[in-house]
Amino acid sequence: MPPFITQLRARLDRLKQALIALAEASDKPMILVKELSPRARRHLLRHFLALEEKDRLLRFGSKLSDELVTRYVENIDFSRDTIFGVYDRKMRLLGVGHLAFAPREASPVSGATLKARVAEFGVSVSAAARGMGVGTKLFVRAAIRCRNADVDTLYMHCLSSNKVMMHIAKKAGMEIHRDYGEADAYLKLQPANPVTLFQEAMEEQAAMLDYIVKANMRALFKWISRVFGIGKPKA
Ligand SMILES: CC(C)(COP(=O)(O)OP(=O)(O)OC[C@H]1O[C@@H](n2cnc3c(N)ncnc32)[C@H](O)[C@@H]1OP(=O)(O)O)[C@@H](O)C(=O)NCCC(=O)NCCS
């Protein structure tokens, strides 16, 4: 093997060890929420298909078959809705949030606001990544987007019966309203302010940078493994 390959391999091993040490040093890794584009459809499909039946029920309101999940992903309109995602270092989506704005009249909680639009939010986190704050981060990010878009009402399917989501919403300091009954509880949001505008811009920048680094590292490892047959990344 040429000497430069040996050196490169040693450097990559040291880098890998340093990154592992860094990740292990913190029990709560930094979670960056990225706004996804249509290019993420393949990642989204993999995330949703991996959800168990009971989680699909909680997420979509019914036990969607693989075929219907595939259709849902194919039909996501990225120009109308906002899809947030949290990636791991292997470029797998750990969590996904789908934020949709609908005209007030079309919402089940239409009388809850005087604003023109109401937001609806759905979120899911891979079973193995739960309890680490990913769901909270996605939820908080969606709420900030709503505030910055002049939307003050956030609706989630079966919110009241979802103990984890209720816990997350309360922890984020949200007001939970039940004027339409338990099944159609909704959350009231504060108006935007300079902090929310700045926060959203900064978080997106950081997540974009993180995504580029992860994608390039993965591409580099793949290239090295293909060309030199070493350090093959696991699927
Ligand atoms: C709901 C969901 C997105 C949460 O994701 P997550 O990444 O595990 O959430 P977080 O780690 O940010 O927070 C979970 C919180 O709920 C708490 N929690 C867990 N189980 C709970 C329960 N049964 N009752 C109350 N709180 C609970 C955790 O302790 C944690 O709180 P903490 O941060 O104060 O310790 C995830 O469980 C999921 O994908 N569920 C299936 C789909 C779903 O229900 N979607 C919501 C409706 S659209």
**Digit-coded pLDDT (tens) for 106-140:** 988 888 999 999 999 999 999 999 999 999 999 99
Residues contacting residue 142 through CB under 8 Å, at least 6 positions apart: 82, 84, 97, 99, 119, 121, 123, 154
Q: Is the CB of 31 under 6 A from ligand 1?
A: no
Give the full edge-to-edge strand order of the sheet including 93-103: 34-35, 82-87, 93-103, 117-125, 153-155, 186-188, 175-177
Give residue 231's pLDDT. Answer: 59
**pLDDT tens digits, one per residue of 67-98:** 999 999 999 999 999 999 999 988 999 999 99
pTM above 0.95, yes or no: no
Q: Of ligand 1's atoms, which has the minimum distance to the CA of residue 159? A: 47
Give residue 23's pLDDT. Answer: 58
Q: Is the CB of 135 under 6 A from ligand 1?
A: yes
**pLDDT tens digits, one per residue of 41-55:** 999 999 999 999 999
Give residue 21's pLDDT. Answer: 63
Q: Is the CB of 154 under 6 A from ligand 1?
A: no
Asked if pLDDT for residue 59 goes beyond 80, the answer is yes
Better-scored residue on pLDDT, 194 or 30: 194
